[in-house]
Structures are given as C-alpha cells and as structure tokens.
C-alpha cells in the first residue's frame, strides 16, 4: 500500500476542527508507518503553517509529529509563499516542494506524480 497524506487545515483558524484534521491525518500516517506501509505527508495551502506550530515542543501533537518527521516530504512552495510560511518551513528543516511548476508561482508539489507512482491520496 502507498498512501500520500495532504494536510490542508489551517492552524490560524484556532478551531478544534483544524487541530482534529491535522491530528487525524498524522494518526493515519502513524498507523501506516507502524504497519510498514509506504506513507508520505505533504503540507499544502494554509496547512503549510502547521510545520512551525507542530515543531514547538509544547504543542499537543508535537510528539506524534516528531515520530513522523522521516515521512514528511515538506510543504508546497507557492502555498508557503502565499500564506507567509516559507521561512517557517525552512527554519523547521523541511523542503519547499516544487514538482508542479505552475506559471507565476514558485511551484507546488505534484499530486499527479504521486498518483502516477501509485499513491492513494488522502486529504485532511
């Protein structure tokens, strides 16, 4: 099984729903990792803001996040630019993803490439 998890929820919304979405997305990734399945995580849209938040040691999802660091590809470059997260992504030690060279942007991850490589895509 090959699964790509895309995190879109926005930590700035301050809602339980946003926290629930990132938590559940990472919980699915954890489950897959424990079962030795292939899993990748990408942060897209306003979800690019999560990398800085989850890197904080006092965040309630920090421990889960740290245990999945090796499964995180990074964050959308264009989305990180648009939502003011590019520096935070870099400072958190993650890559800015640019596989989809969308004109007028710094690039986004290529979901088409994930699908072509046989990944099931889950969105949180």
Assigned token pair, 52: 């800085």
CA atoms lying within 13 Å on the CB side of residue 56? 9
pLDDT, tens only, 18-48: 999 999 999 999 999 999 999 999 999 999 9
- Position 28 scores a pLDDT of 98
Tens digits of per-residue pLDDT, 52-90?
Answer: 999 999 999 999 999 999 999 999 999 999 999 999 999
The most distant pair of C-alpha atoms in the chain lies apart, rounded to whole Å, by: 40
pTM of the model: 0.95
Per residue, the 3-state secondary structure of the chain, as one string, reads CEEEEEECCCHHHCCHHHHHHHHHHHHHHHHHHHCCCEEEEEECHHHHHHHHHHCCCCCCCHHHHHHCHHHEEEEEHHHHHHCCCHHHHHHCCCEEECCECCCCCCCECCHHHHHHCCCEEEEC
Q: Please give the mean pLDDT across all residues of the chain.
A: 97
The C-alpha angle 41, 1, 108, rounded to 5 degrees, equals 30
- Both tokens assigned to 61: 């999802």
Second CATH level (architecture) for the domain 2-123: 3-Layer(aba) Sandwich (3.40)
- Give me the pLDDT at residue 67, please: 98
Pick from 85, 73, 83: nearest CA to 110: 73
């Amino acid at each position: 099984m090959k699964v790509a998890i895309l995190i879109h929820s926005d930590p700035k919304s301050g809602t339980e729903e946003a926290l629930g979405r990132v938590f559940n997305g990472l919980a699915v990734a954890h489950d897959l990792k424990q079962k030795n399945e292939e899993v990748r995580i990408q942060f897209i849209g306003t979800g690019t803001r999560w990398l800085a938040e989850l890197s904080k040691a006092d965040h309630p999802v920090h421990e889960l996040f740290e245990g999945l660091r090796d499964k995180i590809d990074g964050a959308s470059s264009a989305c990180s630019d648009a939502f003011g997260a590019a520096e935070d992504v870099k400072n958190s030690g993650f890559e800015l993803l640019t596989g989809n060279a969308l004109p007028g942007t710094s690039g986004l991850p290529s979901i088409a490439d994930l699908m072509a490589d046989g990944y099931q895509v889950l969105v949180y």
